[in-house]
C-alpha cells in the first residue's frame, strides 16, 4: 500500500497553476476551517496542494459542471470535518459542521466534471471523535480521473454516505482508484446519532425491525456510469451495506488486487456493460476489437482476497463473498475464505454467486476461473440465481475444512453451475 502522499510536481503539466494551501492561508493546525480557501482557490486549471498538517472543513466543497483540469493533493495531509452534534440522513443539522455529508463533490451525473481530475495523498480522519465519518469524495468525471494514496483512518460512525463514490460519465472516460485504505469500515445508522429511518430490507422474522443503512458502503459506483473504472489495491473492512460496490451503469468496472472482509451484503458486487472505449495504459491498444480479445474484455474481478469470518457489530444482514449481476464479467485468480455462515440460498452466505432479474437484466454472462474457495463452515461455495444468462466455472478449487459435505453438489446452491475441472479437497480441522 502506497503512503498517503502525492507529489504535485508529477502533475503540474496538467495545470495552469499549482497552489500550496498554506501559502494562501490554510491553517495546518486544524483550528481554523479551510472552507473559504477551497472556494477561493479551486477553480479550473488549478492544483491545490496541502503540506503535512491537519485541516478542518466545516462544510462540503462542491464543483459541478465545470470544464478544466482540477487537482487536490496532499503530503500526509489530515482532513477532518468539524464536530457534528445532530445529523438526519445525509445532512448535518447542528454542530461546527453543517450541510451535506459529501465533503468533496466533483461533478454529478447530470453535470459531470469535464477534464482531468487528480485527488489523493490525504488522510481522512474518522478517529478524532466518536461521531465522525462522511463521504470523503463523490466524483462523476467526463475525462480522466486519478484518485490514489488515500487513508480513511478509523471507523465511519455517522451512518450516512460512506467514504468514496467514483464514476465516469462517457465511454471514453476513465478513472483509476488506487491504493485506498479503509480498513476501519463503518457503522449502521442505528448504532450512531443519525436519526434516519429506512425501509426494512427483508420481512423475515430473523431480521431486525429497522431498515438497511443504504449508502453506508465502502466504495460505490453509480447507476449512470459509462467508460472504465479501475479499483486497484483497496483494503476495505466491514460495512453494513456492501463493502466494494462498483455495480451500476453500462461501463466496465475492474476490481484488482483488493482485500475485503466481513461486510453486510456482498464483499465485492459488480456488473458489466459494453459502453466503454479502450484505455491505452490498460488495454495496450486503442482498437475495441483488440481490447475485447485482451485481458480486460469487460468487467473483471482479479487477484482479490475475500474473507468472511465473523459478523461484526453494526452488520445486520448475511455476509456474502462475490456477487455478479447483469452484463459480461470475468472473475479470475481470487481467494474466498468463509469461516462464518448464516443461512443458505440467495439470502445466505456463499463464496461466489449471481443475482439476476427476469426479462432484460439477467446475471452474466460470466466466467469464473482459477479461483479458490475455502469453507470452514457449512455454506454454499457457489450460488447461481434462476435469472442467470450463463456462468462458467473453470479450474476451480474448493477446500472444505473440518466438515464433510455429502457430495460436491451439496456445495452448490440454486441452479446447477457449469463446471470444468473442479477440485474438492476435504481437510481435517487440526485447530
Mean per-residue pLDDT over the chain, rounded: 94
Q: What count of other Cβ atoms lies within 10 Å of the Cβ of residue 391?
A: 24
Task: Kindly state the percentage of the chain with pLDDT values over 70.
Answer: 97
pLDDT of residue 201: 56
Split at pLDDT 50, 70, 90, the class of 405 is confident
The cell numbers describing 35, all together, are: 472552507
Q: State which H helix or E strand residue 36 sits in.
A: helix 35-41
Question: Dihedral through CA 85, CA 164, CA 237, CA 91, nearest 10?
Answer: 20
Split at pLDDT 50, 70, 90, the class of 9 is very high
Where helices occur in 275-379 by DSSP H, the ranges are 280-283, 288-292
Non-local (6+) Cβ contacts of 4 within 8 A are 74, 76, 77, 120, 121, 122, 123, 149, 150, 151, 181
DSSP, collapsed to helix, strand or coil, labels residue 265 as strand
pLDDT of residue 205: 45
Please tell me the distance from the alpha carbon of residue 349 to that of residue 241, in angstroms, as a whole number.
15
CA-based angle 230:234:235, to the nearest 5?
Answer: 165
How does pLDDT run across 62-114, given as a tens digit for each residue?
A: 999 999 999 999 999 999 999 999 999 999 999 999 999 999 999 999 999 99
Total number of residues shown for the chain: 431
Whether residue 360 has pLDDT greater than 60? yes
The cell numbers describing 179, all together, are: 491504493
pLDDT of residue 215: 85
Say whether the peptide bond before residue 191 is cis (omega within 30 degrees of 0). Answer: no
The cell numbers describing 194, all together, are: 443519525
Q: Please list the residues that pair with 385 across neighbouring strands.
A: none
Whether residue 203 has pLDDT greater than 60? no
| HEC readout, 273-303 | CCCCCCCHHHHCCCCHHHHHCCCCCCEEEEC
Q: Name the more confident of 282 and 1.
A: 282
Residue at grid coordinates 455476509: 319
Residue 8, CB half-sphere, CA atoms under 13 Å: how many?
21
Query: Strands 299-302, 259-261: parallel, antiparallel or unpaired by DSSP?
Result: unpaired
Q: Please list the residues that pair with 82 across neighbouring strands.
A: none
DSSP string covering 200-222: -S---TTS-SS---TT--SEE--
Please tell me the distance from the alpha carbon of residue 260 to that of residue 166, in angstroms, as a whole number.
18
* Element counts in the chain: helices (H) and strands (E): 3, 32
CA-based angle 381:386:387, to the nearest 5?
Answer: 115
Phi-psi region of 299 (alpha: psi -120 to 50; beta: other; left: phi over 0): beta
pLDDT of residue 348: 85
Instruction: Say if residues 76 and 28 touch (Cβ distance below 8 Å).
Output: no
Which one, of 373, 363, 298, lies nearest residue 333 by Cα?
A: 373
Query: Strands 29-33, 53-57: parallel, antiparallel or unpaired by DSSP?
Result: parallel
Please tell me the distance from the alpha carbon of residue 262 to that of residue 338, in angstroms, as a whole number.
10
Question: Dihedral through CA 45, CA 115, CA 163, CA 124, nearest 10?
Answer: -20
Instruction: Say if residues 363 and 333 touch (Cβ distance below 8 Å).
Output: no
Q: Residue ranges per domain, the chain?
A: 8-317
pLDDT of residue 202: 57
Whether residue 244 has pLDDT greater than 60? yes
Q: Read off the pTM.
A: 0.96
Query: Strands 70-81, 113-125: parallel, antiparallel or unpaired by DSSP?
Result: parallel
How does pLDDT run across 18-68, given as a tens digit for each residue?
A: 999 999 999 999 999 999 999 999 999 999 999 999 999 999 999 999 999
Amino acid at each position: 500500500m502506497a503512503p498517503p502522499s502525492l507529489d504535485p510536481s508529477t502533475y503540474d503539466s496538467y495545470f495552469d497553476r499549482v497552489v500550496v494551501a498554506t501559502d494562501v492561508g490554510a491553517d495546518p493546525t486544524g483550528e481554523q476551517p479551510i472552507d473559504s480557501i477551497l472556494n477561493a482557490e479551486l477553480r479550473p486549471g488549478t492544483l491545490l496542494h496541502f503540506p503535512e498538517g491537519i485541516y478542518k472543513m466545516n462544510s462540503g466543497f462542491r464543483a459541478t459542471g465545470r470544464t478544466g483540469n482540477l487537482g487536490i493533493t496532499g503530503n500526509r495531509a489530515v482532513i477532518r470535518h468539524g464536530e457534528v452534534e445532530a445529523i438526519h440522513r445525509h445532512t448535518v443539522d447542528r454542530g461546527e459542521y453543517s450541510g451535506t455529508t459529501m465533503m468533496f463533490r466533483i461533478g454529478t451525473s447530470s453535470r459531470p466534471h469535464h477534464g482531468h481530475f487528480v485527488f489523493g495523498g490525504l488522510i481522512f480522519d474518522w478517529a478524532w471523535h466518536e461521531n465522525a465519518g462522511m463521504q470523503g469524495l463523490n466524483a462523476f468525471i467526463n475525462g480522466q480521473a486519478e484518485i490514489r494514496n488515500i487513508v480513511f483512518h478509523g471507523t465511519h460512525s455517522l451512518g450516512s454516505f460512506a467514504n468514496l463514490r467514483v464514476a465516469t460519465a462517457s465511454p471514453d472516460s476513465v478513472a483509476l482508484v488506487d491504493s485506498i485504505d479503509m480498513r476501519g469500515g463503518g457503522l449502521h445508522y442505528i448504532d450512531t446519532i443519525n436519526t434516519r429511518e429506512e425501509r426494512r430490507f427483508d420481512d423475515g422474522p430473523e431480521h431486525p425491525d429497522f431498515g438497511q443503512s443504504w449508502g453506508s458502503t465502502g466504495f460505490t459506483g453509480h447507476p449512470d456510469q459509462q467508460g472504465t473504472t479501475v479499483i486497484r489495491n483497496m483494503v476495505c473492512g466491514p460495512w453494513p451495506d456492501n463493502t466494494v460496490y462498483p455495480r451500476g451503469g453500462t461501463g466496465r468496472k475492474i476490481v484488482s488486487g483488493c482485500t475485503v472482509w466481513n461486510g453486510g451484503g456482498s464483499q465485492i458486487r459488480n456488473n458489466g456493460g459494453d459502453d466503454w472505449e479502450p484505455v491505452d495504459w490498460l488495454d495496450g491498444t486503442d482498437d475495441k476489437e483488440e481490447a475485447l480479445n485482451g485481458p480486460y474484455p469487460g468487467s473483471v474481478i482479479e487477484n482479490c482476497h475475500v474473507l468472511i469470518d465473523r459478523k461484526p457489530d453494526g452488520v445486520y444482514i448475511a455476509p456474502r463473498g462475490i456477487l455478479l449481476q447483469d452484463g459480461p464479467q470475468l472473475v479470475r485468480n481470487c481467494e474466498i475464505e468463509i469461516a462464518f455462515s448464516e443461512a443458505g440460498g440467495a439470502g445466505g452466505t456463499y463464496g461466489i454467486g449471481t443475482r439476476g432479474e427476469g426479462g432484460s437484466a439477467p446475471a452474466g454472462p460470466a466466467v469464473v476461473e482459477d479461483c479458490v474457495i475455502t469453507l470452514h463452515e457449512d455454506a454454499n461455495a457457489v450460488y447461481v440465481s434462476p435469472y442467470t444468462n450463463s456462468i462458467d466455472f473453470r479450474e476451480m478449487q474448493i477446500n472444505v475444512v473440518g466438515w464433510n459435505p455429502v457430495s460436491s453438489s451439496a456445495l452448490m446452491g440454486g441452479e446447477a453451475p457449469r463446471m470444468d475441472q473442479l477440485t474438492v479437497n476435504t481437510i481435517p480441522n487440526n485447530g
